[in-house]
């Protein structure tokens, strides 16, 4: 398939989308943190569907590590199970939807407001249902993204949620302030990650595409990255995928793999030993591995192939630099399978099932 699709352009726009989003929301995020303090917020619930949910999962470690309040991330479909127990006037509900039109997400926000929670919408569309019905709307600044598999908006949304988690830290948390400064510099790191890894991904593509299935793995913020990568590859390339934590796959499920499987761990220095143990078992069952690693990380030849990032990544912010190469992998894998990554065959049926009646994705609305 020789045609170039919008998706590859959007992937490379990710760094600028992240930069604009952080700039546009800096004051609003600080104001939200102050409002939460004044409202005596005691717990936080973050909810979304699809890539909005995975963005929350990638950002969750910043909340867990820096924010002193209990934080729950759950799919919007599960929110109704817990709202009566967890949501009251001392709760902060953050509902995430790039389109702002997903019925389950809008419903979750409304349920939180009925129980007097402080209701925040994180969306890419300022005139969406979610933005209009939120008490506080944080709007990402990625611009138009007419592809069904979202890429630059996921980077922007993840970074914005990380900023919220850091803003909710205690004022005396110097480590949070230092990490926020790192977050401000992440757009440059994202760009360097894309530029450095794209040639290697193209080089390894013939080895990748011979596999019928893939499993994506990570720890820390990269557990959310694994969820997002598995979803993107399956929805765009139509390759059967799954996700797990690195330790989760090692403790049993790896035994069911075979040569049809590609195992894709995202490896930090702190989980390198665990990954090496996994790779030994992967090799013993006949499966293959493609590792996305920090630079200079030695896996002792246990991996079949590796893609090295140009720079080491912060443990809590790492998803922002590990995800873009996996977006590139998704794009090129889709082309290799003669798929249209912008508009998968099932797109219309999915949108009809998940959108509120009479609503439409922002880029698909008729003028």
pTM value?
0.94
What is the pLDDT confidence band of residue 2, given thresholds at 50, 70 and 90?
Answer: very low
Domain 6-184 fold is Rossmann fold (3.40.50)
Q: Which CATH superfamily is domain 189-336 in?
A: Glucose-6-phosphate isomerase like protein; domain 1 (3.40.50.10490)
Domain boundaries, the chain: 6-184, 189-336
Q: Which of 158, 142, 139, 146 is nearest to 326 (CA)?
A: 158
User: Which are the contacts of 58, defined by CB distance < 8 A and separation ≥ 6?
Assistant: 158, 161, 162, 221, 222, 224, 225, 228, 319, 320, 323
Give pLDDT tens digits for 152-210.
999 999 999 999 999 999 989 999 999 999 999 999 999 999 999 999 999 999 999 99
pLDDT tens digits, 239-293:
999 999 999 999 999 999 999 999 999 999 989 999 999 999 999 999 999 999 9
Burial of 333 (C-beta count, 10 Å sphere; 0-12/13-18/19+): buried
Q: Write out pLDDT tens, residues 236-253.
A: 999 999 999 999 999 999
Q: Give the residues across from 213 on adjacent strands.
A: 240, 261
Q: Do domains 6-184 and 189-336 have the same CATH topology?
A: yes
Q: What is the pLDDT of residues 64-89, one digit of tens each?
A: 999 999 999 999 999 999 999 999 99
323 contacts 155 by C-beta, under 8 angstroms? yes
Say if residues 264 and 216 touch (Cβ distance below 8 Å). Answer: yes
DSSP 86-98: H-STTEEEEEEES
Beta-sheet strand order (sheet of 91-97): 71-75, 43-48, 91-97, 118-123, 136-139
> Is residue 165 a contact partner of residue 66, using CB atoms and an 8 Å limit?
yes
Cα(269)–Cα(36) distance, integer angstroms: 36
């Amino acid at each position: 398939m020789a045609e170039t699709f919008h998706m590859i352009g959007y992937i490379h726009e990710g760094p600028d989308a992240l930069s604009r989003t952080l700039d546009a929301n800096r004051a609003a995020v600080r104001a939200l943190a102050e409002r939460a303090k004044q409202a005596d917020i005691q717990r936080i619930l973050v909810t979304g569907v699809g890539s909005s949910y995975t963005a929350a999962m990638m950002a969750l470690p910043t909340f867990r590590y820096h924010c002193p309040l209990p934080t729950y991330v759950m799919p919007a479909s599960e929110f109704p199970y817990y709202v009566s127990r967890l949501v009251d006037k001392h709760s902060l509900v953050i509902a995430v939807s790039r389109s702002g039109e997903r019925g389950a997400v809008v419903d979750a926000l409304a349920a939180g407001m009925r129980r007097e929670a402080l209701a925040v919408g994180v969306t890419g569309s300022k005139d969406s249902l979610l933005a209009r019905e939120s008490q506080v709307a944080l709007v990402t600044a990625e611009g138009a993204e007419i592809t069904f598999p979202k890429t630059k908006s996921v980077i922007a949304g993840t970074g914005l949620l990380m900023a919220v988690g850091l803003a909710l830290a205690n004022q005396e948390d110097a480590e949070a302030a230092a990490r926020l400064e790192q977050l401000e510099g992440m757009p440059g790191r994202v760009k360097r990650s894309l530029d450095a890894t794209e040639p290697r991904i193209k080089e390894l593509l013939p080895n990748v595409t011979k596999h019928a299935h893939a499993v994506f793995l990570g720890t820390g913020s990269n557990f959310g990255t694994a969820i997002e990568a598995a979803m993107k590859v399956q929805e765009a390339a139509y390759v059967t995928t799954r996700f797990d934590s690195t330790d989760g796959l090692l403790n049993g499920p790896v035994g069911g793999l075979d040569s049809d499987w590609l195992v894709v761990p995202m490896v930090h220095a702190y989980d390198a030993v665990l990954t090496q143990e996994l790779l030994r078992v992967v090799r013993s069952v006949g499966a293959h591995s493609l590792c996305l690693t920090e630079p200079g990380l030695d896996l002792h030849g246990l991996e079949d192939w590796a893609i090295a990032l140009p720079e080491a990544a912060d443990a809590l912010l790492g998803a922002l630099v590990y995800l873009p190469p996996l977006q590139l992998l998704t794009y090129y894998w889709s082309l290799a399978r003669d798929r249209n990554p912008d508009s998968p065959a099932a797109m219309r049926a999915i949108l009809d099932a998940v959108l509120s009646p009479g609503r439409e994705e922002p880029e698909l609305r008729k003028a």
